[in-house]
Structure 1
């Protein structure tokens, strides 16, 4: 049976705790680090599969950021207009 996301995070947080020498009071830090590592793994798996796994809200937020750097339409990113390199100076 495949390991669930929660089980993976639990095991990784425990491993982090062991690696640090069993400190007390750092359980939430280990849990968050494990959660971030899992999210990074899930993100890299999505890229290798060619699938988008981010929640719709994050995709929408990312798409709106493109308005200043380039427009994103139907998954195609068009480059932002280039600015002129020469500037006129006042004499």
Structure 2
């Protein structure tokens, strides 16, 4: 499955990129699976996307939970929680 990954704010800064195309292994079915797959890359990926870190996710520009199913061509975004003042 082909998807588009997008990274925002501090996630983008730490990864050094704002977007990336990815071809997922066949066992990746949810947004949470994508996060774990990216973590498995190690190094900065494991640090920035670690399960214990506060991180928001969106699928096709809709806020979502880790169990959200993905489909061909999905856009998955990762970003820190937003605070306002």
Check whether TM > 0.5.
no
Q: Which is higher, the Rg of structure 1 or of structure 2?
A: 1
Greater helix content: 1
Bucket of the pairwise TM-score, normalised by the shorter protein:
under 0.3
Give 1 or 2: higher strand fraction: 2
TM-score if structure 2 supplies the norm length?
Answer: 0.23
Which structure ranks higher in relative contact order (CA pairs < 8 Å, sequence separation ≥ 6)?
2
